[in-house]
Structure 1
Amino acid sequence: MLAYPIDITPKTMIAEEFLNRMIPLLKPTDSTTFALDWMQELHLFQLPVVNDGEYLGLVSQSVLVEQPAASLAEVPLEAQEVYSFRHEPYLDVLKTAKQNHLQVIAIVDTDQSYVGTIVVDETLAFFAQSQEQSPGSTLVLLMEERDYSLTEISRLVESNDAKIVSSYVNTYPYDKSKIQLTIKINRMDITRIIATFERFEYDVIAKYQHESGHDEDKERLDMLLKYLSI
């Protein structure tokens, strides 16, 4: 599950505030099977490789599948010179990631030591939902397109005395047979709702909770989308 709290108030619009703490730190000595297992667990197709605190590059699932090897040290890495600094403005980080077609981007310190990783798409989903100014929570579900039924999903939410106030569906960019459904729910506590989805075998890949929004949130989202030309 990709779930991490994010505060989008003005003081936190720098890279280190958006790090996903669930991303593992892969080493060159790790097996390729180990890396693939993490990719499957996190629904990611790229992960950073780090050696003694130094960022070496990203390993991709396609390379691991096409070029079987015993360890990551034997695998060619991507984006070796592409990263952002921890205090860099977040808009610049997203721009760098999008320009280089990255699903994740490594964040480093001023001495270029590895700090952590940002997952681009999941964070953009959160920004999109921040337009909804009412308090509540947001869930991102990943499913096969044939399994999508908003009626059924709404029924499961309503069985927990909550309602879906907005939803957004888009094709999962890394597997065209799947879709990514983002739903805004009018409840702050969604523990029971998540448990219900998991009981019915829905894959919850992200969750966010937010209080009543501010005008600044929408302004920042508008600026973000314009900046990225999305």
Structure 2
Amino acid sequence: MQAYEFINSLIPPLKLSDRGGKALAWMEEIRIDALPVTDQGRFLGFIRDEMIFELNQPEQLIGAIGLKGGACWVYSDKHIYDVLRVASENQSNLVAVIDRENAYLGVITMEDAISAFADSLSIKSQGSVLILSLNMTDYHLSEISRLVESENTKILSSFITNDPLDDSKIKLTLKLDKPELRHVKATLERFGYRIIDHYQEETGVGSEEDRIGNLLRFLDI
């Protein structure tokens, strides 16, 4: 799940000596709204179609146009989680990938990153999603796993976020391998865990739209 595994080889970098018209032509061909810009193998940032349209000078050199997202990059050996974090921090649909010598290797699209993220969280697997609210000091995944497994159910993956309703708590999202949640919920609640939401998936779900929906529910977006 390292960044270099998800580089999109179909997205070429622009040079400072390229012109805005060329950038727009490439964007239209690839159906993307931004492209990376490099100089002597070093990543400089991204140029977006709106920046070129605003100038209304297609012959303008890329080097004369201010770039954005110069900090929107990750090292090639970083996890896909880091790619998503950097994309979110920079509000970008593209993240550049460089090696430890700072040489540009390529870019990752958010579509590819989210797909990889969904795979890593077992989103494609049938089952259910359970969301708990608890204090960080009470978070012991081994104990929660023991209780879940006592009901013949397994935790496929887990995800922690801050609880927006209470700064002192976290939300623990669990992907389980069984669609039936009644017994698991009862066991967790009996041991003092507070369940704030759940999603039970229908069998036979397999479309890309359903897969994305599962991911968004898992992330509580």
TM-score category (smaller protein)? 0.5 to 0.7
Q: How many percent of aligned residue pairs carry the same amino acid?
A: 28
Aligned to 1:20: 8
- Does the C-alpha gap of structure 1 residues 131 and 24 become closer, same or farther in structure 2, counting only changes over 3 Å? same
* Aligned counterparts of 1:18 and 1:126: Cα–Cα separation in 2: 8
**Looking at CA atoms only, which structure, 1 or 2, has the larger radius of gyration?**
2
Stretches of 4+ moved more than 6 A in 1? none
**1:128 shift after superposition:** 4.1
Whether 1:56 aligns to 2:44 is: yes
* Aligned counterparts of 1:81 and 1:122: Cα–Cα separation in 2: 20
Which consecutive residues of structure 1, in runs of 5 or more, have no partner in the other structure?
A: 1-12, 135-163, 170-180, 183-217
Residue by residue over 1:5-57, the C-alpha shift from the partner in whole angstroms, topping out at 9 and shown as x without a partner, is xxxxxxxx111011001111211111211111111122211110011101111
Alpha carbons 1:44, 1:103 under 8 Å: kept:
no
Matches within 5 A, 1:193-204: none
Normalised to the residue count of structure 2, the TM-score between the two structures is 0.55
Which consecutive residues of structure 2, in runs of 5 or more, have no partner in the other structure?
A: 127-204
- Does the C-alpha gap of structure 1 residues 115 and 167 become closer, same or farther in structure 2, counting only changes over 3 Å? closer
Residue by residue over 1:119-159, the C-alpha shift from the partner in whole angstroms, topping out at 9 and shown as x without a partner, is 0134314644763349xxxxxxxxxxxxxxxxxxxxxxxxx
Q: Counterpart of 2:95 in 1: which secondary structure?
A: strand
Alpha carbons 1:104, 1:119 under 8 Å: kept:
yes
* 2:209 alignment partner, one of 152, 160, 168: 168
Matches within 5 A, 1:27-42: 27-42=15-30
Aligned to 2:108: 118
Aligned to 2:95: 105
Q: Counterpart of 2:15 in 1: which secondary structure?
A: coil
